[in-house]
Structures are given as structure tokens and as C-alpha cells.
Amino acid sequence: MSWPWAFLIVTLIGAWFTFNAYLPRLRRGATSVPSFFAGWLTGELAAHHFAWQVAATVFFVWMGALSAWPGWLGLGITLASWAALLGMVLVANRSADVVETALRSALGSEYDSELDRERAAGLERRAPRRHLAVPFLLYDRDVAVERNIPYADDRDRRHRLDVYRPRSGAPGAPVLLQVHGGAWVIGHKRQQALPLLNHLAARGWICVAANYRLSPKATFPDHLVDLKRAIAWIRTHIAEHGGDPDFLAVTGGSAGGHLTAMIGLTPNDPEYQPGFETVDTRVDACVPFYGVYDWTNRFGHDHGNGLGSFLERVVMKRSLADHPEDFERASPIARVRPDAPPFFVIHGSHDSLAPVGEARDFVRVLREKSNAPVAYAELPLAQHAFEVFHSLRTRHVVRGVERFLGWAWSRHVETPRGTAA
């Protein structure tokens, strides 16, 4: 094969990655999973994608790729791809404005003036720039991690959690529980939200990442019961690690976003606290990322992705038609209540695994029924799982979550739980 034709083929491959990031496949099919992974990595690592395309172009031009018309066509395609990748970088950078607008709309234009001095000072410290260059460097030297702490009195290896804390110590620090995703069947506490956990722990938070039992061995609500047990452990033991047991926020993505919302909307529900019914499982703030909020598909957002049949066969082990009440009770959108905690819902506009329309409806119902603030940030061009590693968008969103949680913590400091407002 000649160099001009080889160059054309390579540029078409690169252009497909770029095109797919803008228009991912939403319906289930043989190409849906490759489409997700390609769009996810290209959208979040657009600058890195641009770099390899430039390197490839320089190489092929040096080898004589422009000696025939296929090479010139390839050059035109790759220049268009570069322009589109630059557009992705600019859109990702706009996430800062999207997040800030969401916070000010929900919390008030002066919400940042309500932050306590320590939280406000911490917001001025930015994440290291090396994270953008090396996105999978998911370690922070200012953070200590205690791993695999049992949170239940049994030998189930899934009943373990990790505690992230600042090496400098932080007595009486606010606490965040992270719930991993993985479609309720896979996933691990060490795999997700590490940019957020390290960022917060380095700035004085105590962060807890918990495993829970997985389907098909586990049947919902086993997953939720386990996380309530983790909360019980936090109430009893987190002070030993420097945390304030009276303040707890929760976050998670995908299936973890669903479970995060369920935690926030089922406080002290004895159905999910067998044997520890008296433990206070209320939380002070919820930040679900790209979650699934309706297991009944009442608004028709299941775009042929097979989630309904998967839930019936693997997670619930019963049918929606025969047991609609069980699927209703497992749907956060059906559990919204006036005393729900403050929510910050985050979703990508280009999510090909969890439909963004479901997030919009969940936020609408929350705002209709909840007495607490509800912030919603819909991130342009963002895919599912966008914040698993460092990226420009991840940096802006993590700092926005820090501000939201700092606001919730400041309210707690001013009016501790159990006192009159």
C-alpha cells in the first residue's frame, strides 16, 4: 500500500473517533459499546487525541503521503478533525460556566459568601497541572488511604471500604461516601471517582469508598442495604479517622448514581436496615452522576438499550409486569419527598448508556416536591463515566462539586442537625 493511501486510511480512522464523540450511537447494538468507549476517551482526552493525529500527520507527510491525491484528501480530513477536536476542548472548558450557573441558580447568586472560611480558602487551590498531561495518574501524595476495612460483622469480602484522609490530619472533618457504579453487577471501590476523592481528601475531607454485594448473586435491595450498613459504620467509627459522624454527603456514578439517590430518598427506612433499624441513615447532600432514576421507564427514555430486561433478569429477578410495585420502589423518581436533602445532579448531554432525559425528569420531580435546593448541570458533549480519570471537564466538575459540598457543610456548621433553624 502506498503512503498516500495509508495516510488516508489513518485520517479516516481518526475522523471517525472525532465524529463518534459528537454523535455517539444511542441505541443498543453490536457497535454501541465500541461507540461508547471511543466517544468517552476521545471526548475527555481530545487534546491527547489531537496530539497523536498531529504526530501521525507529520510522519506521513515526511514519508511522502502528499505525493498523490489520496494524501491531500487525507490532509483535508485531518484538518477538519483537528478543528472539531479543538471545539471539544473549548466545550469542555465551558463546563466551569455550566457548573457555576447550575450552583448559582439552585443555591443563590451569593452562595459562595455562605462558605465557611476554611472551605472558601481551599477553593482557591487548584489541582496540579500534571493531571491534565497524565490523566491516569490517580494518586495524591497529600492523601493517605486506609484500605479494606470491614463494615459488617461477616466474612463477605464485598463488605469492605477504604478511607481517604489528608496526611496532615483533619479532626472533625466533613465526610463523603462514594458509591461505585458498574450496572449493579461489576465495579470496585478503587476504580471510580478517584479525582474527586483525592481532591477533597487533600483539602480536608474524609472520603469513604465502599464495595457492596453485586448481582446476579445479590438481588436488589441487597446493594442498598449494604450501603446503609456502610453508613452505620461511618456513624460509629469515622471519628476515629478524623471525620464528623454527624455530617455525611453521598455521591456515585451510573448504578452508583441510582444508589446515591436511593440513599438520599430512603432515610431511616426499616425495609433497608434489617437488624440496624435505629441507625440514623440520613444524609446531608447527594451528588449523583449520570444515574438511572426510573426502573419503570414511565417517560419512555429506554432507547432500546435493554436496561429493563437486564434489571428483570439479573438485578431484580422478577418481571416489571408481575411486580410493578417493586420496580416503583426501586426508582428514585418515585421516592422523592419534601424532606429530601439538597441534590446536585450531574449528567452528560451525550451519555449513551444512561439517557439524559431521565436525569431531566428526575430533576423536574425533585424541584416540584423537595423543599431543598436542587442543582442540575447538563454537560455539553460529555459521555457516561466522564470523570473516572483526570480531564479538563473533570477538573471543572470536581471543583463545582467541592463548592456544592462546601455549601452543605457550611450550613451544617451554622445549624447542626437536631437544632432549630
Tell me which residue has cell 447542626. 416
Cβ burial, residue 397 (10 Å; 0-12/13-18/19+)? buried
Residue 206, phi-psi category: left (phi > 0), alpha (psi -120 to 50), beta (remainder): beta
**Which residue from 13, 32, 129, 142 is spatially nearest to 74, judged by alpha carbons?**
13
- Of the residues 222, 351, 352, 412, which is catalytic? 351
Contact in structure between 293 and 358 (CB atoms under 8 Å): yes
Q: Is 223 a catalytic residue?
A: no
Whole-number Cα distances in Å, 420 to 159, 285, 412, 416, 417: 36, 19, 12, 9, 8
81, 95, 254, 410: the catalytic one is 254
384 is catalytic: yes
The single residue of 49, 384, 390, 412 carrying the catalytic annotation is 384
Is residue 225 within 8 A of residue 273, CB to CB? The reply is: yes
Contact 177, 230 (CB under 8 A): yes
Sorted by sequence, the CB contacts under 8 Å of residue 354 that are 6+ apart come out as 254, 257, 290, 291, 292, 347, 384
Instruction: Please tell me whether residue 161 adopts helix, strand or coil conformation.
Output: strand
Kindly list the catalytic residues.
254, 351, 384
